[in-house]
A = this chain, B = another copy of it.
Amino acid sequence: MLRRRSALASLLVLGGGAPSAWATNAADGSALLQRVRERALQDTRAWEIVTALTTEVGARVAGSPNDAKAVQWALAQAQALGLANVRAEPVPLRVWQRGPAQARITAPHAHPLVITALGNSVGTGSTGIEAEIAYYADFTALKADTSDKALGRIVFIDQKTERSRDGRGYGQAVVARVAGAVEAARRGAVAVAIRSIGTDRDRIAHTGAMRYDPQVRQIPALAVSTPDADLIARLAVRGVVKMHVALQAQSDVVATSANVIAELQGSDVADEIVLLGAHLDSWDVGQGALDDGAGVAIVLAAAHHIAALAVKPRRTIRVVLFANEENGFDGANAYAERYAHQTHQFVSESDFGAGRIWRLRTRLRADALPAVDELAAALAPLGIERPATGANEGSPGPDAGVLMRRHKWPAIELTQDGTNYFDVHHTDNDTLDKIDPATLPQNVAAWATSAWWAANTPQRFGPL
């Protein structure tokens, strides 16, 4: 006992290239995993990192000057955190740029509206559009409509977003944002307005990407704040409602961004990659604190924590801060092409705010699943459960999901509590104060533990 403790202590505090305890001694490996977790739980660095990002950069929509500033910031951070092979890998973009946007109710009673253009929306022209509203309680009602109710009108979709820990309410509602314009245009609408996809009651609208169909006329698309949606609903039951909308926007603007990459070089299987992802860009509102400054901070802090150990991982732990997650996944796709040839032990992403992690799910080759018991045991003291059903149906986040689907790379998901995430998601309200500093160390500990385990286990996880 004494001897092993002593060996562990030297692994944790001394420098040098001692071979990993893992391959040679399972008991040492498990004890080390616990030490990684417990030490990471004491780490408050993630709060410092996200504080710096929101204070020194702020909002950083892909391709913008602030996005370029964020790339420089991330390179400097990764260097300062002791990570290796720190680099920015250029990602060419064609971006959508928001212009001024206003809307108001003009009849039966004049009201200003708090709105935001949806990402990729075309503009209205400088004089704007005024039309009657065609009210739909939700996207399903619009899809079901075979009448001419929407013809020549501004379709309003009053789609509610239910609060949920795992984000399923968002998953159910977001189709109204993404596909609302196409369905409205198919029915002859001149524009589409949606209730913000969000769980708050604030007079702040939620932006986010929408898409057109090449076969369907492109109409302007916007979201109104939830109190404004309530107002429209109240007016709609009283009779004819008219809205004026004026949006300016530019599409297909040539720009550039970069994936920022930083590594902990592996030892005997350094060519296999454990990928800890987050995305560096944000929407052009708020400070990008929860989305995804928190994720950037969590994975950087987790990697830093492992870098501070006196022992190297067997596989290479690679932090990837993806470019333009919000409106195109350009960073994920660029990464997928550049690193198609590399073996990835797992891909993953922290991109659901800063709440506590409550669940571990995986997407691994079936024969690898017994090995996960060891990780699950190491995460259990953090309050993280491995579900009885669907444990290997994990969804590793948006960018990592692109990689998983393209290359059949295995993946893990550490599910955060997203109960409050959609109160501020994609809004001006996504600011540092929405992060509880107390929840970050648990996230860092879970990621450090998972990365360390995956980097050192003899088990290979993929391909799927």
Contacts and interface: CB of A to CB of B under 8 A. Distances in A.
Interface of A: 51, 54-58, 66, 108-111, 114, 201-204, 226-227, 230-231, 234-235, 238, 286-287, 427-429, 431-434
Contacts of A109: 55-58
B204 A204 contact: yes
A74 to B, nearest CB: 15
A428 B114 contact: yes
B57 A429 contact: no
Contact of A235 (B55, B111, B235, B429): B55
A109 B55 CA distance: 8
A432 B111 CA distance: 14
A433 B226 contact: yes
Contact of A58 (B111, B286, B431, B434): B111
A110 B110 CA distance: 35
Of A110, A230, A238, A431, the most chain B CB neighbours within 10 A belong to A431
A428 B231 CA distance: 13
Contacts of A227: 287, 429, 431-433
16 contacts: A54-B231, A55-B235, A56-B108, A66-B110, A114-B428, A201-B434, A202-B204, A202-B429, A203-B204, A203-B286, A203-B429, A227-B287, A227-B433, A230-B432, A231-B287, A231-B432
**Copies of this chain, whole number:** 2
A129 B220 CA distance: 36
Contacts of A234: 51, 55, 432
Contacts of A114: 428
Contacts of A202: 202, 204, 429
A111 B203 CA distance: 21
Contact of A230 (B111, B226, B431): B431
Nearest to A234: B55
A432 B234 CA distance: 11
Nearest to A105: B58
A109 B235 CA distance: 43
B55 A431 contact: no
A2 B427 CA distance: 65
Contacts of A434: 201
Contacts of A204: 202-204
Contact of A431 (B231, B287, B431): B231
A114 B109 CA distance: 27
Contacts of A110: 58, 66
Nearest to A66: B110
Nearest to A237: B55
Contacts of A56: 108-109
A434 B230 CA distance: 12
Nearest to A58: B111
A109 B52 CA distance: 11
